[in-house]
Structure 1
């Protein structure tokens, strides 16, 4: 069985606006990354930089459906973000897999839940309130202890 993490939320903005914020370098670097090397288009490899953690890694873009679906692989997992219109707002369903088994899988799920919660909160703060990077920190930690 493949264990996966699913994070869902709703943002009071049209799907097209949410989609553009995620797939464009300017959009993504406004709330999540420090820099994205290029737009997310199917088959592209994009480098994401995270200045607060002095980290960078490559993202391989998978399927993209304008205003509906964004997918990619990154180290150790595949991510899919489904967007659905809800009366002018957008329902986001973020799925990341695999999470793994045992304590390692649980620890990954905790960390990724933390990251995806930040992603959605940052996206909302940017799209609704115009805020850019409202609080990246390299000090926040979540730990799973067996």
Structure 2
């Protein structure tokens, strides 16, 4: 099974990182343009990305306060794990298991690498500098060629 893992650290406590990911204010500050509700286990929320004319439902999975947020969205299952590695420093591990056979799943994982890099960079800019969405693009493409 294809699996994509993106890891990074942010110089903020896990509580701050967690709140940015699960709240409407946080998510709409750095990742989605709009979300219909906060991330609560067992619920479905709608995320909108108007710059790409896309909106879809996200099924919220397991959530552990300040440690884990998981969801299923079109094409895969995502888990964001948080771990404080020092005073005020949080390590993030984002794991996505894209669906699709063979190279289709691999190609999706390659494309998602860009998306998760954007997620981490904008989360950092939001938490450390108060910057909201800086330069959304629907033109970046990644292609897996066999």
SS in 1 for 2:138: coil
Shift of 1:100: 4.1
- Cα distance in 2 for partners of 1:98, 1:51 equals 23
Gap runs ≥5 in structure 1: none
In structure 2, the partner of 1:61 is: 60
- Cα distance in 1 for partners of 2:39, 2:103 equals 33
In structure 1, the partner of 2:115 is: 115
- Cα distance in 2 for partners of 1:91, 1:46 equals 26
- Cα distance in 2 for partners of 1:138, 1:98 equals 20
In structure 2, the partner of 1:7 is: 6
Could you list the structure 1 runs, at least 4 aligned residues long, displaced by more than 2 angstroms after superposition: 98-103
In structure 2, the partner of 1:126 is: 126
SS in 1 for 2:6: strand
* Partner deviation per Cα, 1:21-58 (whole Å, 9 max, x = no partner): 00001100101100010000110100000011010000
Do the aligned partners of 1:46 and 1:60 also contact (CA within 8 Å) in 2? yes
RMSD across aligned positions (CA): 1.1
Do the aligned partners of 1:38 and 1:46 also contact (CA within 8 Å) in 2? yes
Do the aligned partners of 2:98 and 2:108 also contact (CA within 8 Å) in 1? no
Gap runs ≥5 in structure 2: none
In structure 2, the partner of 1:20 is: 19
Do the aligned partners of 2:2 and 2:109 also contact (CA within 8 Å) in 1? no
In structure 2, the partner of 1:90 is: 90
- Cα distance in 2 for partners of 1:105, 1:79 equals 14
Shift of 1:73: 0.6
Aligned length: 145
- Cα distance in 2 for partners of 1:60, 1:145 equals 31
Do the aligned partners of 1:99 and 1:109 also contact (CA within 8 Å) in 2? no
* Partner deviation per Cα, 1:70-115 (whole Å, 9 max, x = no partner): 0111112111010001112100000111354433222111111110
SS in 2 for 1:97: strand
